[in-house]
Structure 1
Amino acid sequence: MVVLREGMCPGLDEDLVRDLRAADIKTVEDVVSSDIEELAQRCSVSYKALFAIRRVLLAQHTAFPVSGADLYEELLSSTAILSTGNPSLDKLLDSGLYTGEITELSGGPGSGKSQVCFGVAVHISYHLKQSVIFIDTTGGLTASRLLQMLQAETSNTEEQMEALQRIHIFRLFNIFSLLDCLYSLRSGGLQQVSVGGGSVKAVIVDSVSAVISPLLGGKQNEGMSLMIQVAGVLKTMAKDFNVAALVTNHVTRSGSGELQPGLGVSWSHIPRTRILLERVERATPVSHSSMRSATLIKSSRQPCHIKEEFDLQWGSRSKEASSGKRKLDETDSG
C-alpha cells in the first residue's frame, strides 16, 4: 500500500492530503477505489481536479492487488494455447499455438507446410469448435481436401459440414489483396466472421512468402515496406483480437549450405516462434514418404534446435481416410 503524501502528483497539496485523511482516504488505493464524485463533495474540491489526480496516481501505481480468479479470467481472455492436433508439433511449440503471437512454418516444396496448415485448421474447427481464417496465396487449398481430412476425424456428415463452415477461406494472389484483407479483418471483419460459429482463434496465411518474395528483388524499398506492413497488421491483429497467427515461408540456403527461412533478416524478427519442416529421407518402403522432421529454430520458451519426427497423416482415423490423405500428400507441393 502506498500512503498519500503531498507532492506525489500535481494538485495533491498539503491541504488536500489533510482533507482526504479526514475523510478516511489515506492511501493511493483508497483514492482509486472510492467514488470520486462523493469524495469531491466531502473534501470541498472540484470533481475535475480530483479525477485528474486519480488518473495520475493510477498511472504511477498500477500494481494493485487483484484476486487469483481475476488474473485467471484475464489470462483466459488474453492468451490461449491452441493444440495443432499434432503431438510432435505441440511438443516443439510448448503445447501449441499461442494467441497474440505469430508462428512460422518454413520449408521447401513438399515439406508439408500446407498439409500441416490444413491439419491445424481442421483440428481447431472440429475439435476446438472455433473459427479459422485461412488465407491461401498459392491456390493449394480446396474444400474437397478439407472435407477429406474431416472425414478422417468423423463419419457424421452434419459435424463435417459444421466444421467446414467454421473455416473461412480467402484466396489472394498478390500482396495488395493480402493487405486489404488483413486490414479489413482487423477493422471489424473478424467479429463478423465469428457470428454463427465460434470466435476466430487462428489466422493462417499459406504462404506469406509467395506474395512478398517476388517484390524483394527489384524495387527493394517498396517490397520491404510492404513486407513490414503485412508484419505489422498481423501482429496487431493477433494481439488485439487474441488470435494465433500461423504463416508459412519458403527456404533458402545459407553460405554454408544450410537451409534457412526466406524473406531475410528483417522478417526474421517478426515470428515469435519458427519451425523448419523437412522430408525424412529413408531407404525403406514408400510407406514412409509421409514422414517429416520439424526443427525448432526460434523460440522464447524452448531450447532451439530440438527436433521431432511426425507422420503427415497424424489425423487419420481409418484406412480409407489414410489412403485418401496419402494421395493428397503425394501431390502436395508445400
Structure 2
Amino acid sequence: MTATDIEDIPGVGPATADRLREAGYITVESIATAAPVDLSEAAEIGESTAKKIIKAAREIADIGGFKTGTDVLARRQEILKLSTFVPEVDELLGGGIETQAITEFYGEFGSGKSQIVHQLAVNCQLPREVGGLGGSCLYIDTENTFRPERIEQMVAGLEFEKPVPEGYEIPSVEDFLANIHVARAHSSDHQMLLIDSARDLSNELKDSDMPVKLVIVDSLTGLFRAEYAGRGTLAGRQQKLNRHLHDLFKLVDDLNAVAVVTNQVMSNPGVFFGDPTKPIGGNIVGHSATFRLYLRKSKAGKRIARLVDSPNLPEGEATFMVETAGIKSC
C-alpha cells in the first residue's frame, strides 16, 4: 500500500481523506499510530468512528502487536551508521550515529554543536561506502544558525579514510546545498508543525535519488525555553516537548533516518563539586534521546565529546577540532 491509499481504509471516504491529508495524516501508518482524539479533531468525525478507522488502519499496516526478539533483531539489522569523519567520535558512538534513534548534542555556547550538525548535513549526502547515508537532510533552524558558507567550507575540506566507490566524484557545493532543506521555526508551535511538513517532504523524496536520511533540530529547546518562563509553565512546556520528540522519533523510525538535536544548557547552583552544567528539558529530553553527548571546550581549541547516556554503549570521551575545513581529528 502506498502513502496515498488512505481511502482504502474502511470508513475513510474522499472528503475525510482530504481532511486527514491536510492535517498531516498521509500514510496508513500515520493513521494507525494516531490517538483517537487527534484523528477525530483532524477529520471532523466522532471519536468512536476515529477508533474504528485506527483499528482498520492497524490491521492493514500490520502494526501494534507484539513481536519476537528475532523480529526486533531483524529490524535492528536495518540500522545504518552516519560517520562524523572523526574516528575517535565514531568509535565512541559504536561506529557512527545510528538511524532509528535521536542523538542529542548539548553544551555551552561555542562548544561545537552547530558545527557538528553542519558537518553531518554534508556527510549524510555521501555514499554509504565512505560513511555517508546517500540521502538528503532536513534542517529545522530555531536560532538562525544555519550558514550555507559553512557548508561550502566543509565540502572543500572533505577527506575520506575509506576507499571512494569507483567513478564517484564529489558533487558541487550547489548540489550539496540543494539537498539540505532548511526551515526556520519562529515559535514552539511552528517548530512542532514543521515535523508534519518534514513528513510531507520526506514522502515526496522517498523514491528519489536522495531520500531523507537526516533530520536536524538546532536547537531543540531554545524556543520552548523562551516562551515558557517560570515554574508555573513547566508542565505545559514539558508536555509539548514530549509530543515534539515523540513525533520526531516516529518520523525517523519510519524513514530509517538519523535524528540529531542540539540542546542548550543551564548551570545547577546546587552543585558544589564537579561540572554544574546540565541540559535543558529535564527527564523528558533525557528519556526521549537515545544517545546523549555532552560537548565542552578544552585547551588549544580542542573540543571534548562525552557520551553521557546510551542504551548499549559504555560512557567515554573523544576529542575533536573545529577547523575551517570542518570537524577533524586532533
TM-score normalised according to structure 2 size = 0.66
Number of the residue aligned with 2:289: 271
Assess, with a 3 A threshold, how the Cα gap between structure 1 residues 64 and 117 changes in structure 2: closer, same or farther: closer
Partner Cα distance (1:299, 1:236) in 2: 19
Counterpart code for 1:245: A
Partner Cα distance (1:157, 1:65) in 2: 39
Number of the residue aligned with 1:23: none
8 Å CA contact 1:105–1:249 kept in 2: the answer is yes
- 1:164 and 2:177 aligned: yes
1:29-56 CA distance string (max 9 Å, x none): xxxxxxxxxxxxxxxxxxxxxxxxxxxx
RMSD between aligned residues? 2.8
CA shift, 1:100, in A, is 0.8
Whichever of the two has the greater Rg, that structure is 1
- 1:258 and 2:276 aligned: yes
Structure 2 unaligned regions, length at least 5: 1-63, 160-168
Range moving further from structure 2, 99-108 or 256-265: 256-265
Number of the residue aligned with 2:253: 239
Partner Cα distance (2:70, 2:314) in 1: 34
CA shift, 1:258, in A, is 2.3
Partner Cα distance (1:79, 1:106) in 2: 24
8 Å CA contact 2:138–2:198 kept in 1: the answer is no
Number of the residue aligned with 2:319: 309
Assess, with a 3 A threshold, how the Cα gap between structure 1 residues 143 and 224 changes in structure 2: closer, same or farther: same
Within a 5 Å distance, the mapping from 1:83-102 to structure 2 comes to: 83-102=83-102
8 Å CA contact 2:82–2:123 kept in 1: the answer is no
Counterpart code for 1:82: L
Look up the SS of the partner of 1:95 in the other structure. Answer: coil
Number of the residue aligned with 1:107: 107
Partner Cα distance (1:235, 1:183) in 2: 12
Assess, with a 3 A threshold, how the Cα gap between structure 1 residues 302 and 158 changes in structure 2: closer, same or farther: closer
Partner Cα distance (1:159, 1:261) in 2: 37
CA shift, 1:214, in A, is 2.0
Number of the residue aligned with 2:137: 132
CA shift, 1:180, in A, is 1.0
Structure 1 unaligned regions, length at least 5: 1-58, 283-287, 314-320, 327-334
CA shift, 1:61, in A, is 10
CA shift, 1:209, in A, is 1.4
1:180-202 CA distance string (max 9 Å, x none): 1102323x321214464411111
Identity, % of aligned pairs? Answer: 26
Partner Cα distance (1:80, 1:110) in 2: 29
Partner Cα distance (1:230, 1:180) in 2: 9
1:131-160 CA distance string (max 9 Å, x none): 111111111112122112112228x88532
- 1:142 and 2:147 aligned: yes
Instruction: State the 4+ residue runs in structure 1 displaced beyond 4 angstroms.
Output: 59-66
Range moving further from structure 2, 170-179 or 269-278: 170-179
8 Å CA contact 1:216–1:223 kept in 2: the answer is yes
Partner Cα distance (2:193, 2:238) in 1: 17
TM-score normalised according to structure 1 size = 0.66
Assess, with a 3 A threshold, how the Cα gap between structure 1 residues 157 and 273 changes in structure 2: closer, same or farther: closer
Number of the residue aligned with 2:50: none
Within a 5 Å distance, the mapping from 1:1-334 to structure 2 comes to: 78-127=78-127, 128=132, 129-153=134-158, 158-186=171-199, 188-194=200-206, 196-218=208-230, 219-254=233-268, 255-256=270-271, 257-280=275-298, 282=299, 288-289=300-301, 291-304=302-315, 306-313=316-323, 322=325
8 Å CA contact 1:106–1:276 kept in 2: the answer is yes
Partner Cα distance (1:227, 1:108) in 2: 21
Look up the SS of the partner of 1:208 in the other structure. Answer: coil
Partner Cα distance (1:102, 1:165) in 2: 24
1:259-290 CA distance string (max 9 Å, x none): 2222112221110110000010x3xxxxx32x
1:234-255 CA distance string (max 9 Å, x none): 1111212211110000112232
Assess, with a 3 A threshold, how the Cα gap between structure 1 residues 175 and 143 changes in structure 2: closer, same or farther: same
